[in-house]
């Protein structure tokens, strides 16, 4: 008698038959962002924006005629819709406002330079007397303030 791997040749090997169940594909809902239309509609008020028909899965931008508010209405695939309201506010100034109280004008600077030049010419270049005169002028101006 002939043997195959320890089994007689006439012995039929057992091959299990697996019950193959059909695989069912369950489609997961895809979360895609709503499509925004490029056109912007002008509306009279928020109630009109709320009642404006929008197709499922899309968004529509609307602006109030007096430019005070912006509305975005979004309709979802499940039939619900949402209206987002944005209030426009005035634009902030780009340039900072400077306090010019402590600065002098070009004319004031030139006048002061001319006064100092006259003092230098009058004192024949004596720097010490100019310094004394300047400190006396500064003390006078600080006392007046």
Q: Which pLDDT score, from 0 to 100, does residue 51 have?
A: 92
The verdict on 114 and 79 lying in the same domain is: no
pTM summary value: 0.41
Q: Are residues 116 and 83 in the same domain?
A: no
> Looking at the structure, do residues 81 and 113 belong to the same domain, yes or no?
no
Examine residue 119 and state whether it is found in any structural domain, yes or no.
yes
Cα–Cα distances (Å) from 26 to 20, 33, 76, in that order, read 18, 22, 21
Kindly state whether residues 42 and 77 are assigned to the same domain: yes
Residue 70 contacts by C-beta under 8 Å, 6 or more apart in sequence? 61, 62, 63, 64, 85, 86, 88
Same domain, 78 and 119: no
Residue 61's domain comprises 35-87
39 shares its domain with 78:
yes
Q: Return the pLDDT at 142.
A: 45
Higher-confidence position of 114 and 96: 114
pLDDT confidence bin for 6, thresholds 50/70/90: low
pLDDT for res 85: 94
Same domain, 110 and 82: no
Total tally of structural domains belonging to the chain: 2
Residue 11 covered by a domain: no
* Residue 98 pLDDT: 75
User: Residue 130: inside a domain, yes or no?
Assistant: yes
């Amino acid at each position: 008698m002939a043997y195959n791997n320890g089994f007689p040749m006439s012995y039929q090997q057992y091959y299990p038959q697996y019950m193959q169940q059909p695989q069912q594909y369950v489609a997961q809902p895809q979360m895609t962002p709503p499509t925004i239309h490029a056109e912007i509609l002008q509306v009279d008020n928020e109630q009109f924006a709320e009642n404006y028909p929008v197709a499922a899965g899309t968004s529509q931008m609307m602006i109030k005629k007096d430019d005070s508010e912006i509305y975005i209405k979004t309709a979802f695939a499940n039939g619900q819709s949402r209206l987002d309201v944005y209030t426009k506010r005035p634009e902030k100034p780009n340039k900072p406002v400077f306090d010019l109280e402590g600065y002098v004008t070009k004319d004031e600077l030139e006048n002061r330079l001319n006064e100092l030049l006259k003092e230098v010419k009058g004192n024949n270049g004596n720097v010490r007397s100019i310094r004394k005169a300047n400190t006396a002028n500064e003390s006078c101006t600080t006392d007046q303030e």
